Every structure is written in C-alpha cells, then in structure tokens.
Amino acid sequence: MKFLTAMLVILFSTLTFAQSINLDYEEEWLIDYYKRSVVAGQIPQMCISTVLSCEEQIKYVFQSLLELANDADLGSSQVDLEPNKSISNLSEQSLLILESILDQVRGLNLSTAQKIQYYLLKESLESPMDRLDIEALNELSNMLLTAPSQKGLCLYAGDINRILNFEKINPELCAPEKMALQMTPSKDELRDIFQFQPNLNEFSKGRYKDTVRLYMFCRKDRQYPCRFLMRDKDGNVVQNDKGEAWSQSSLGYSRKKKPYWKIDGDTPSGIFLMNGVMPEANKKMRYGKFRRIILNFVAKSEAEQKQKQLLPASSYDLPWWQQAVQSRNNGRSAFRIHGTGFTSTGQGKPYYPFMATRGCVAQIEGNFNSTKYKYQRRLLDQIMQARGYDPTYKNEYKVRGILYIININNEKRAVDYQDLESLL
C-alpha cells in the first residue's frame, strides 16, 4: 500500500511538472504562430490549443499584436522574415486581420493595463474610436483617479491623456508616486534581503524546498550589467574554486528602451520563481545554444502575503519588489534567462558584450576579444550543483529556485564583486 501511494505521488508530481512546462511552451508557440500568421497576411486559426481556454488564447493573440505594434523581433531560424518589422510595414490584408481580431478582444475581461494597451493598439492602427471607446476610456481614467493607489494611473497617465487628446490627468499628481517607485533599499535593508532565510517548506506547499536562491543586483539604469550571487539548497553562499563567493554578470535591459511595466520593457525588480527549463534549446539564434530558464511571477494573493513569505520584515513596505507585482498585474509574461546566438554589435555601449533583450535576463554567449563566453551553460551547471545534482542535461529540469532582482543604486557603471562584498 505504501509503495502504491508513493508511486501515485511521483506520478502526480511528474504530471504537474509536465503540465507547467507544456503551458509555458504552448504560450510561446501560440504567440509565435499568431504573429507570423498576421505578418504573412493570413487569418490565424483561433482556439487551436487543447491546453488553454479559447478566451485565454484570444488574449495571447492580443499579446502577439502588442508585440507587433512594438516593433517585435520577427526573425527566426525557422522562418525567414524581416527583423524589426512594424505595423506600419504590414500589408493591407494584415491590417484588416488585426482589426478583426481587435473586435474579438474588446469583449474580453481584460486587466486595466490590457485595456489601455488595447486602445494604444487601436491608435497605432489609426482605427477610429467610436462612442463606446471614448466612454470606456473616460470610465477607465475616472476609475484610476478614484483608486486608493495611484500606481496604475501614474504608469499610464501620458498614454491616456494622448489618446483622449486632452490633459485629463494632471502629471504633477504622479511625481511623488514615480519617485517612490525608483527608491532603492539601504545597505542594511540589502543585507537583510541577502541574509534572510525564508521557510521554503511552507511556501507554495514545499515546491521550492531544497532549491537555490539566486540574487541579481542591478543599477537603476539597466544599461549597466548586473551581478549574480547564489545560495545553495542549505542556504549557504555558493563559492567558486578559489573559496570566494561565486558571482557572474547578467543584464536586465530592454532593447526597446522601455520601462519595466510595459511589454518589451526592462526586467522588473522583484521576486521570480525559477521553474525548470524549456523542453528544448530551439530558436538558437535568438536564445543561444543552451536551454533557457523559465521565470514566473509569484501568484497574486491577499495583501501579497505569498511575496512576503520570501521577504524579511524590513522589506514588506519597500517598493523594490513591487515592480514585479505591477508587471504581473499589467499582464507581462514569458520571462526567461537565456543566452543568444547573435553577435553583440554594441561596442562602446555600457552593456557590451551583452545583447539587450525584450525583458528577459540576458547571459553572454560567443567569442569576444579572444574570450569564449558560455554564461548560460555556467549558470545552469552552478544551479544544479548547488542543489546537489550532477550538471547533466537530464538534470536541467531540476533548475528550480527563487530569483531576487534588486536595484541597489544609480551609479553609472556595472555592478562588480566589490560592490557586494559587504553583504557576505
């Protein structure tokens, strides 16, 4: 009987893990499929997934359109499409398809951010606003003005004012809120974050027990590379062969030069869950030759109690981790840690030889100045070893843990090891 119970537990865990991986893979596949259909001037077949509901799939169509509107990279190793192709370059047939899909989106239960993005997309298509659109926008701005928190209002005040064609929302109202969002933890608060040992036996029903904690320390100006530190499954600081704390540089900078709350913006600061790797290392030109690590937001909970399980009490009221919360609530998704097959052409830029991304955490890959970089490979191996596993391909699905991304100050240089020594 005990053997049967154990086998059922293992089977359930395996199915749960597979479902999670399939869902992430399904999301990426759908977004890619919808974008390419529209660019090719073809009507995408709707509701083709067996994993997601029809309404969820239409939302992914919508996300695909937003990426097109933001000059999303449409290049691929599988389909020869012109990179950085924007809506203004699409055929008349493609534009008609976009408007047809938008008609389906309007009736969906969208978040506040998605509603604003919907009208931004209509604006980029030069699609006329009807009476219902204007009423909905006025209702949306009135709701934001009377909300207990002005955060949503301040993130989109400029967009709403421009679409309505008059200054309904006073920009001065947002100045204190925007300033608060940029505050960074003090040195003592940073030390609390790094030294804090969360009870991972209780968090998320123990799914992250015996996993790693990865810390990514950044500047507010994300053009400057960040730096990783790591704690192993027992909470000890991971060390390198020299007996020093292991560290590695990384980047969370948007190649669209957009803020964290917008699609394709900087990687938001806050807490992410590392949930294994993608099933395969596909699209190698875009993502590199090694499997990318899946990042998910912490699920919404009352007063963000789930977030606070992973935070020291001194961080409860700090804004540094709320960027991820706002990005989650705004509908951002599909975050990853990955390398790239492209060669960085940013000589002279603060982030060279990194490649900026559309919101993912970047790792250096390739040959630069006679040095061969495999940062993604090193990170995967280090996480597996920190969990007590051999660094093999079959163990990569065990790459799990908690990722903390923290802006430490606004100095105009990369974060180096010396910046973090006081935390150790």
State the Cα–Cα distance between residues 277 and 345, nearest whole angstrom: 28
- pLDDT of 185 higher than 70: yes
pLDDT of 383 higher than 50: yes
In a 3-state reduction of DSSP, which class is residue 141?
A: helix
Helix H or strand E encompassing 145: helix 131-145
pLDDT at 204 over 90: yes
Query: pLDDT at residue 172 above 70?
Result: no
User: Rounded CA gap, 217 and 227, in Å?
Assistant: 5
User: What are the DSSP calls for 83-116, one per residue?
Assistant: TT--GGGS-HHHHHHHHHHHHHHTTS---HHHHH
- High-pLDDT (> 70) share of the chain, %: 69
Give the long-range contacts of residues 188-194, CB within 8 A, separation 24 or more: 188/314, 189/314, 189/315, 189/318, 190/406, 190/408, 190/423, 191/422, 191/423, 192/312, 192/314, 192/315, 193/311, 193/312, 193/315, 193/404, 193/406, 194/229, 194/423
The residue with greater pLDDT, 290 or 169, is 290
Work out the average pLDDT over 198-221. 96
The predicted structure's pLDDT at residue 17: 35
Mean pLDDT of the chain: 79
Q: If DSSP codes are grouped into helix, strand and coil, which group holds residue 367?
A: strand
Give me the pLDDT at residue 347, please: 82
* Predicted pLDDT of residue 338: 96
pLDDT-derived band of residue 149, with 50, 70 and 90 as boundaries? Answer: low
- pLDDT higher at 40 or 75: 40
**Has residue 314 got a pLDDT over 80?**
yes
- Give the highest mean pLDDT range of 58-62, 132-136, 264-268, 344-348: 264-268
Question: Which residue do the tokens 């240089």 mark?
Answer: 413
- Residue 338 DSSP symbol: E
Higher pLDDT, residue 49 or 223? 223
Q: What is the pLDDT of residues 9-66, one digit of tens each?
A: 333 333 333 333 345 666 667 767 777 776 677 766 666 666 667 767 666 666 666 6
- CA 346-349-354 angle, to 5 degrees, is 60
pLDDT at 196 over 50: yes
Q: Which string of b and e fits 136-163 if b means at least 16 CB within 10 Å? A: bbeebbeebeeeeebbbbbbbbebbbeb
Q: Residue 349 corresponds to which tokens in the numbers above?
A: 């830029």
d(CA 222, CA 350): 9
39: enclosing H helix or E strand: helix 2-39
- Band (178; pLDDT cuts 50, 70, 90): low
pLDDT in tens, 106-139: 766 777 767 777 777 777 667 777 777 778 777 7
Whole-angstrom distance, CA of residue 221 vs CA of residue 159: 23
Answer yes or no: is pLDDT of 89 > 80. Answer: no
pTM (2 decimals)? 0.77
pLDDT at 409: 92
- What's residue 107's pLDDT? 67
pLDDT digits (tens, 9 = 90+) for 240-253: 999 999 999 999 99
